[in-house]
A = this chain, B = another copy of it.
């Protein structure tokens, strides 16, 4: 029985109760959102020590960090280090995208050590296995791919990205309707390559019910990948992207009908003024399914600063209704992120998510900003540090830049505006 099936049966699960407590929302409201598919609680029955997280309409915007080895950096211990940093940065979910070294151990360790939901992209492991057999990625068989999915589901993976919407029809069209950057989704490109090489339909689309069966058994949440997400501003919101989104909308309905929780992934690289439209379109075509965006990046020319480009796009997306932000790190487009990059990426996404939540309506979110304003008025530094999204960083900068240990700060010193106002404006009120 999945969270969705139990919600439809009228049951308020312990997971729903925990989510309700975190979100300061009544548990019955959470049950209703899950029942209608407007929210998901990725919670694999085999993921021990999971603190369940709700993703969807009316809930706090969540942040995901991508972890995982690569062929160049295959040491899984580095990724456990990044997991710890991610958790210390209050990340809401992580994905293990490993493609190098001992990926089985890496995934097992991440699941074992992560209290937040863990996602994967199973086709990566299938691709690695094909290569280990000295075959091309596109020579993997559908049975091999489904075996990987079943094994990962049994290991406790809470949500999986599957590029079911990259259909043969769309890939054939793409050949005659060129984009600048074709396909930039790794899983999407493997799927398209497989379709073209084998001249067959995408097995994850063709055998979608088989996929649903695996998810049902362990309550794995589907994250329908956007294999055709734009990889540059010039490809944004084009026919290929929207056609895939329509397919995903149909698969959302089939998933819900089967009792499988489902969310939908989105772009990508999108000009600032197209972001809200992308969210509206996804919410309509996908029947209100939770929307998980990668960025979006509002420019193509910010390598080294793509966490900032993503924070800008992420705020615009979440303010328009996106529910889940996949972080982007300063290393995006350049290489695998370091631990520092992971920290920077998460914090940038958390700023974006919080800025959007302030305008999304949950009153309790904004109480923190109101308290910070009061702490600043009172020059109450311990309170300012405590209320900061990253108290450690705020404390470090404050200490480093305040050698005289003044009550004010080193930007204005005795010319502090707040000091001046407290002296002449507020005291005259008393």
CB of A404 within 8 A of CB of B72, answer yes
Residue from the set A73, A171, A181 with the largest chain B CB neighbour count within 10 Å:
A181
**Chain A 380-403 interface 0/1 with B at a Cβ cutoff of 8 Å (1 = within):** 000010011110011011101111
CB of A417 within 8 A of CB of B189, answer yes
Q: Does A319 contact B (CB under 8 A)?
A: yes
- A interface residues, how many (CB within 8 angstroms): 115
CB of B412 within 8 A of CB of A99, answer yes
Question: Residue of B at shortest CB range from A373?
Answer: B232
CB of A301 within 8 A of CB of B411, answer no
Interface members, chain A 168-220 (any B CB < 8 Å): 171, 174-175, 178, 180-186, 188-190, 192-193, 196-197
Whole-angstrom distance between the alpha carbons of A358 and B9 in the complex? 49
Specify which chain B residues have a CB less than 8 angstroms from the CB of A175 in the assembled complex.
Answer: 425, 428-429
Question: Residue of B at shortest CB range from A414?
Answer: B71
Whole-angstrom distance between the alpha carbons of A300 and B384 in the complex? 10
Q: Does A376 contact B (CB under 8 A)?
A: yes
Specify which chain B residues have a CB less than 8 angstroms from the CB of A65 in the assembled complex.
Answer: none
* Stretch from A30-38, A49-57, A242-250, A304-312 forming part of the interface with B: A304-312
Smallest CB separation, A119 vs chain B (Å): 17
CB of A193 within 8 A of CB of B312, answer no
Specify which chain B residues have a CB less than 8 angstroms from the CB of A71 in the assembled complex.
Answer: 413-415
Q: Does A324 contact B (CB under 8 A)?
A: no
CB of B196 within 8 A of CB of A425, answer yes
Q: Does A271 contact B (CB under 8 A)?
A: yes
CB of B305 within 8 A of CB of A393, answer yes
Asked whether A189 and B420 contact (CB < 8 A) given A308-B311, A401-B335, A413-B70, the answer is yes
6 further interface pairs, Cβ-Cβ under 8 Å (given A300-B369, A305-B347, A305-B389): A100-B413, A186-B412, A231-B376, A233-B373, A334-B409, A336-B411
